[in-house]
A = this chain, B = another copy of it.
Amino acid sequence: MPYVNIKITREGATAEQKKALIAGVTQLLVDTLGKNPASTFVIIDEVDTDNWGLGGRPVTELRKESQ
């Protein structure tokens, strides 16, 4: 009965991509640890780039500089 929380920046992940992520991580827990997929939770949080910091700076700024 694993619980998985995945946080990514909110930058346009599609429902199809999130579906593939949910399926993939659930299968990975079956393959590596023998967990039961029926009681595996996966929760994806999409976080605004103003609210995510890396290296002491908001991702909003990092994205502008890398363009």
Which chain B residue lies CB-closest to A23? B56
> So how many copies of this chain end up in the complex?
6
Set B26, B38, B51: member contacting A46, Cβ < 8 A: B51
Interface string of A29-67 (1 = CB under 8 A from B): 101110101111111111100111111111111000000
Q: Is the CB of B4 within 8 A of A6?
A: yes
Neighbouring B residues of A33 by C-beta, 8 Å: 8, 13, 17, 21
Q: Is the CB of B13 within 8 A of A8?
A: no
CA distance A35 to B29 in the complex (A): 20
Set B1, B27, B61: member contacting A56, Cβ < 8 A: B27
CA distance A39 to B33 in the complex (A): 20
